[in-house]
């Protein structure tokens, strides 16, 4: 059981009045839902670096191959102080054990994608990354990150939440005394979850686990972590999802009566045909799996995700 999940959040999304104009940008999903299920560590780079509230607004400016963080009106350059703070703060956050991060879109400090960058000739290109976001993502390259605007999309939200909890479990696995056995248990619990993202990728990961004894522990760990997180970035396809449901249905068919399994089979095929939403098939599948109470189903992160993950998905 996963005890503790902590994520970093741009402080203004939690309703803190830290923006340059003294306002906030409270996000309902972040402040009301996410903060109820996981521990949120608020960070406002511009306040923490000492720019105060209110403060002059800043923007990213292209200078050769690098970006500068410059005040829009007075053109005061904050690049050096922001970079050295961001380096320190990213290391602190790594120590704190984050499992994800939600950034504010468009910010020259916090934005992840398409942040406006002012060019010398007066043009603006939406192609930058906020200075703090860039540093944190460099320090923690596997950390699941999202922008608050993208979390409005249900599919992206569910994918982010899934990655956060998987990353938290991976960190928990490798934090303790891990062994070939504990990796095998972890991998078995995640087998269906990984396969719905890519069966081929899941097979390659299983082969990696099989080579455990032929690699150094350091190399195994970094390969395994990287490949699990990359696999989870691939979108779930309905065909892979229903293939996993059918595999589980077949296993349940070996244990339960034909009548009980027939109900599940119908629910899975209705979802496969696009006639019913996924949750209907999963509800029937979980009910039957819970009745069976076999460890292979109870431990499966696909059949029974963390309750907090379910509440957020
Ligand atoms: S976007 Fe980032 S820097 Fe701007 S107010 Fe929010 S937390 Fe602070």
- Cβ–ligand 1 distance for 45 under 6 Å, the answer yes
Can you tell me which atom of ligand 1 is nearest the CA of 10?
7
Domain spans, the chain: 6-152, 154-233, 238-312
Task: Look at ligand 1, atom 6, and give the residue with the nearest C-alpha.
Answer: 12
pLDDT digits (tens, 9 = 90+) for 101-111: 999 999 999 99
- Calculate how far, in angstroms, residue 10's C-alpha sits from the geometric centre of ligand 1: 6
- Would you tell me how many other CB atoms lie within 10 Å of the CB of residue 169? 20
- Cβ–ligand 1 distance for 147 under 6 Å, the answer no
- Calculate how far, in angstroms, residue 146's C-alpha sits from the geometric centre of ligand 1: 15
Pocket test for ligand 1, best of 44, 72, 113 (most atoms within 8 A of CB): 44
- Cβ–ligand 1 distance for 133 under 6 Å, the answer no
pLDDT digits (tens, 9 = 90+) for 21-72: 999 999 999 999 999 999 999 999 999 999 999 999 999 999 999 999 999 9
- Calculate how far, in angstroms, residue 21's C-alpha sits from the geometric centre of ligand 1: 11
All residue ranges of the chain with pLDDT < 50 are none
pLDDT digits (tens, 9 = 90+) for 177-196: 999 999 999 999 999 999 99
């Amino acid at each position: 059981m996963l005890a503790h999940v902590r994520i970093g959040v741009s402080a203004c999304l939690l309703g803190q009045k830290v923006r340059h104009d003294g306002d906030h940008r409270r996000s309902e999903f972040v402040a009301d839902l996410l903060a109820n299920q996981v521990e949120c560590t608020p960070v406002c780079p511009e306040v923490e670096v000492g720019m105060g509230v209110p403060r002059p607004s800043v923007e990213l400016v292209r200078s050769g191959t690098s970006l500068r963080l410059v005040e829009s009106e007075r053109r005061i350059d904050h690049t050096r102080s922001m970079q050295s703070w961001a380096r320190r703060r990213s290391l602190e956050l790594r120590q704190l054990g984050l499992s994800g991060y939600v950034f504010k879109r468009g910010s020259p400090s916090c934005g992840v994608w398409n942040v406006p960058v002012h060019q010398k000739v007066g043009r603006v290109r939406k192609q930058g990354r906020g200075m703090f976001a860039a540093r944190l993502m460099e320090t923690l390259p596997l950390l699941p990150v999202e922008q608050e605007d993208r979390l409005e999309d249900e599919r992206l939200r569910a994918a982010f939440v899934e990655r956060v909890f998987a990353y938290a479990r991976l960190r928990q696995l490798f934090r303790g005394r891990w062994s070939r056995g504990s990796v095998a248990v972890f991998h078995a619990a995640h087998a269906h979850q990984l396969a719905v993202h890519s069966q081929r990728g899941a097979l390659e990961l299983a082969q990696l686990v099989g080579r455990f004894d032929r690699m150094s522990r350091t190399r195994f760990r970094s390969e395994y972590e990287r490949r699990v997180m990359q696999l989870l970035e691939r979108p779930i396809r309905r065909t892979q999802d229903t293939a996993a449901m059918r595999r589980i249905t077949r296993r349940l068919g070996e244990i339960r009566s034909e009548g009980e399994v027939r109900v599940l089979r119908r629910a899975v095929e209705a979802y496969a045909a696009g006639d019913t939403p996924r949750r209907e098939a999963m509800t029937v599948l979980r009910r039957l799996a819970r009745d069976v109470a076999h460890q292979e189903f109870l431990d499966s992160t696909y059949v029974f995700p963390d309750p907090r993950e379910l509440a957020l998905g």
